[in-house]
């Protein structure tokens, strides 16, 4: 199934003749770089015999925008979803990432996610059949993104998923494993979502594009790069960081517009293509590792319906109405009295606890015991905390284990607060 948008020069005598060329992907009046130098164009989209024709202004894309294009990827899934939208079927476009995706530096209506969604809805939708999900959460890496992808993206039946964590992630194995586990989890869904990777960058040059693009190449995914586009311009003195961002990382209003244009350019390149991709199998062996694939996340409304995670006595913790970022159902809260353990029974190869952290002496810490042995101490008073949800990894095994878990406030946490918003585990028998 292939979407082809072909731009032809509007000449009255040539329109009838050029329609045959349009149907087979021929481009008339295009520059060598794929641009179109006609004043106006006839835009034709063929989807299984359905033809939509309209007059549209030609658009020239700058070299900056063109550099953002990393890879077209295997387009089978994406074209399938866009075909459904063009045929009037409902699709959902979701954006999963950190504060850049959430819209910091812009507004909910001017962030790159909303702007690029509007472009997709306008160019491929019919009426209001394309729906928008912004699952960006400030300050969060792919570790937490992988744990919450089911509730924030997959449970909303997302058809196209943009993933943006390049400035929030680190370079070590935990981040590589979490990012790849996230990608594999989305790709494995029954509705076969299309995944598009977006790489961003900080003022100091931090980006995880190197290993993330290796994952993208391994799975044949579309990829778009902010650093590829803007860093040569900054180095050449053609633009400054302030043209893109008002702080260390977040695009300003113009920056968000620019990122949205990078995404638009990807779709421009997709529409120019005449080839048709076959479905691609998901590699059995991961590129880096997939220990956290198909994570299960429980919040305070959890009813013990998953036999692999059972919450028993909550001890000195009580369920209270608390909210942080997109965790709005409440929290298991320790209010500074007692040291009675919260007890869990877990069957899996990993365990995470999502807690509120802050740079404050009012934040407490707790020990985690697994099968009678101390697995570690989690301190929610952290210098880089700012009231954000943070996924603390408690343990990772090389196979599935039965775990009796106790969460015990430390004695020096008397009078302090601990807030646990989520408990997550995975059951992967073998992984790399």
Higher pLDDT, 106 or 52: 106
The mean pLDDT value for 19-25 works out to 29
Query: Quick one: what percent of the chain has pLDDT higher than 90?
Result: 84
d(CA 388, CA 378): 15
Higher pLDDT, 375 or 9: 375
- pLDDT computed for residue 9 by the predictor: 23
The dihedral over CA atoms of 211, 214, 220, 222, expressed in degrees to the nearest 10, equals 50
Kind of pairing between the strands at 317-320 and 223-225? unpaired
Q: Which of 19-23, 121-125, 418-422 has the lowest mean pLDDT?
A: 19-23
d(CA 4, CA 42): 13
Residue 297 structure tokens: 């996340």
Q: Where are the alpha helices (DSSP H) in 26-125?
A: 63-67, 76-86, 99-102, 112-124
d(CA 40, CA 230): 29
Identify the CATH class of 61-272.
alpha beta
**Is residue 51 scored above 70 in pLDDT?**
no
296-426: CATH superfamily: Galactose-binding domain-like (2.60.120.260)
d(CA 116, CA 256): 10
Run of H or E including 387: strand 386-409
d(CA 416, CA 409): 10
d(CA 164, CA 138): 12
Tens of pLDDT, residues 311-330: 999 999 999 999 999 999 99
Residue 83 structure tokens: 């075909």
Parts of the chain belonging to CATH 2.60.120.260: 296-426
Backbone angles phi, psi at 90, to 5 degrees: -80, 135
The mean pLDDT value for 124-148 works out to 97
Model confidence, pTM: 0.88
Place of tokens 């993206």: 153
**Is residue 266 scored above 90 in pLDDT?**
yes
Backbone angles phi, psi at 283, to 5 degrees: -55, 140
Run of H or E including 268: helix 253-272
Answer whether 162's CB lies under 8 Å from 216's CB: no
Place of tokens 């996230």: 182
The mean pLDDT value for 340-363 works out to 97
415 DSSP assignment: T
**Is residue 47 scored above 90 in pLDDT?**
no
Cβ-count burial of 107 within 10 angstroms (0-12 exposed, 13-18 middle, 19+ buried)?
exposed
- pLDDT computed for residue 429 by the predictor: 76
d(CA 252, CA 257): 9
The mean pLDDT value for 231-251 works out to 98
Answer whether 109's CB lies under 8 Å from 91's CB: no
Backbone angles phi, psi at 50, to 5 degrees: -90, 125
The mean pLDDT value for 398-411 works out to 96
**Is residue 386 scored above 50 in pLDDT?**
yes
**Is residue 78 scored above 50 in pLDDT?**
yes
**Is residue 52 scored above 90 in pLDDT?**
no
d(CA 74, CA 270): 10
The overall average pLDDT reported for the chain is 88
**Is residue 126 scored above 90 in pLDDT?**
yes
């Amino acid at each position: 199934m292939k979407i082809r948008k072909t731009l032809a020069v509007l000449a009255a005598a040539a329109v009838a003749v050029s329609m045959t060329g349009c149907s087979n992907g021929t481009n008339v009046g295009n520059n060598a770089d794929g641009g179109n130098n006609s004043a106006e164009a006839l835009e034709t989209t063929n989807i299984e015999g359905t033809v939509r024709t309209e007059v549209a202004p030609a658009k020239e894309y700058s070299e900056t925008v063109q550099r953002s294009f990393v890879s077209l990827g295997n387009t089978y899934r994406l074209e399938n979803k866009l075909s459904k939208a063009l045929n009037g079927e409902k699709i959902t476009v979701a954006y999963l990432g950190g504060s850049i995706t959430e819209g910091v530096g812009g507004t909910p209506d001017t962030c790159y996610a909303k702007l690029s969604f509007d472009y997709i809805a306008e160019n491929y939708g019919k009426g209001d059949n394309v729906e928008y999900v912004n699952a960006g959460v400030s300050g969060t890496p792919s570790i937490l993104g992988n744990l919450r992808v089911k509730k924030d993206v997959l449970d909303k039946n997302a058809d196209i998923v943009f993933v943006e964590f390049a400035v929030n992630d680190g370079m070590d194995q935990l981040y590589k494993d979490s990012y790849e586990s996230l990608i594999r989890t989305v790709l494995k869904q029954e509705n076969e979502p299309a995944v598009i990777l977006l790489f961003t960058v900080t003022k100091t040059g931090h980006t995880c594009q190197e290993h993330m693009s290796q994952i993208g190449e391994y799975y044949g995914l579309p990829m778009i790069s902010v650093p590829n586009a803007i860093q040569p311009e900054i180095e050449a003195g053609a633009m400054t960081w302030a043209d893109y961002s008002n702080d260390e990382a977040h695009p300003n209003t113009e920056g968000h517009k620019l990122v949205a244009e990078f995404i638009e350019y990807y779709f421009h390149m997709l529409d120019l293509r005449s080839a048709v991709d076959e479905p691609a199998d998901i590699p059995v062996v991961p590129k880096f590792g997939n220990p956290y694939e198909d994570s299960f996340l429980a919040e305070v409304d959890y009813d013990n319906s998953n036999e692999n995670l059972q919450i028993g006595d909550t001890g000195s913790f009580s369920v209270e109405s608390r909210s942080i970022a997109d965790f709005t159902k409440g929290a298991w809260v320790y209010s500074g009295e007692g040291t009675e353990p919260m007890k869990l029974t877990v069957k899996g190869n990993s365990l995470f606890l999502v807690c509120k952290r802050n740079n404050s002496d009012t934040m407490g810490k707790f020990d985690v015991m697994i099968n009678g042995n101390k697995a570690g101490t989690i301190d929610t008073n952290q210098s880089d905390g700012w009231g954000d949800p943070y996924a603390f990894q408690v343990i990772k095994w090389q196979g599935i284990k039965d775990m009796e878990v106790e969460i015990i406030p430390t004695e020096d946490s008397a009078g302090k607060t601990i807030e646990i918003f989520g408990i997550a585990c995975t059951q992967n028998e073998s992984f790399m």
